[in-house]
Amino acid sequence: MDRFNAAPDGAAEAALLACCGSRRWARRIAGHRPYPDLAALLAAAAEASYDLTSTDLTEALADESVVQHPPSGSQGPGTLAAHTALRAAHAAYESKFGHVFVLCLDGVPQEEVLGQVLASIRTRLGHQDEKEREVAADELRRVAQGRLAHLAATTPRGS
C-alpha cells in the first residue's frame, strides 16, 4: 500500500486505469490517497464504481477487451464446440449491447470457467438493455476490485 500511496498522481492514475477504464474513477481513487490499508482502498473503489455515470460506464466497458484465447483449463471432448459457441455468444452479446461481455471469474475453479462464461453470457443475452447495463456495471466493479487488490499487492518500487 505504501508504494501505491506514494506513487506520483499520473502513475497512480495510469495503474488504476488498468483496473477500470473510467478516467473519472481513476482520478477519484488516486486523488483520495493515502489509504490506510487495502480494505479502505477497496471500499473507496467500490463507492466510486457505484457512482459511475452512464458515460463513465461506457468508457470503462469500451476499455475492456474480449478474451482472445480460450479460457484455460478447458480441454477434452466437446471443447472445440464449446469454444465455437463461446465465440458466437460473444459476437451476439456485442451486437445486442454494443460492448464486450464482462464477467468476474474470481474464485471459479479453472475447470468450470468455460461453462460459467457460456452459462452467464446466455443468461445475460436475455436481459433488456437497462438491466444488462446494471449487471455489466456490477461485474465490472467486481473485476476492478480483483485487479485493484492485485495492483496494491504488486506495485513496483519507484512507481
The pLDDT profile of the chain, 159 residues, written as one tens digit per residue, is 888 999 999 999 999 999 999 999 999 999 999 999 999 999 999 999 999 999 999 999 999 875 444 455 555 556 778 788 888 999 999 999 999 999 999 999 988 888 899 999 999 999 999 999 999 999 999 999 999 998 888 755 444
pLDDT of residue 154: 75
Instruction: Record the pTM.
Output: 0.85
Measured from the Cβ of residue 149, the count of other Cβ atoms closer than 10 Å reads 16
Angle between helices 79-97 and 129-154 (to 10 degrees): 110
pLDDT of residue 75: 58
Dist. CA 43–CA 48, nearest whole Å: 9
- Helix, strand, or coil here: 120? helix
Given a contact cutoff of 8 angstroms between Cβ atoms, the answer to whether 22 and 60 are in contact is: yes
Q: Which long-range contacts (CB under 8 A, 24 or more apart) does 80-83 make?
A: 82/114, 82/115, 82/118, 83/114
Q: What string of DSSP letters covers 31-79?
A: HTPPPSSHHHHHHHHHHHHHT--HHHHHHHHHH-----SPPTT--STTH
Dist. CA 128–CA 63, nearest whole Å: 22
Contacts of 31 (CB under 8 A, 6+ apart): 9
Q: What is the pLDDT of residues 49-64, one digit of tens each?
A: 999 999 999 999 999 8
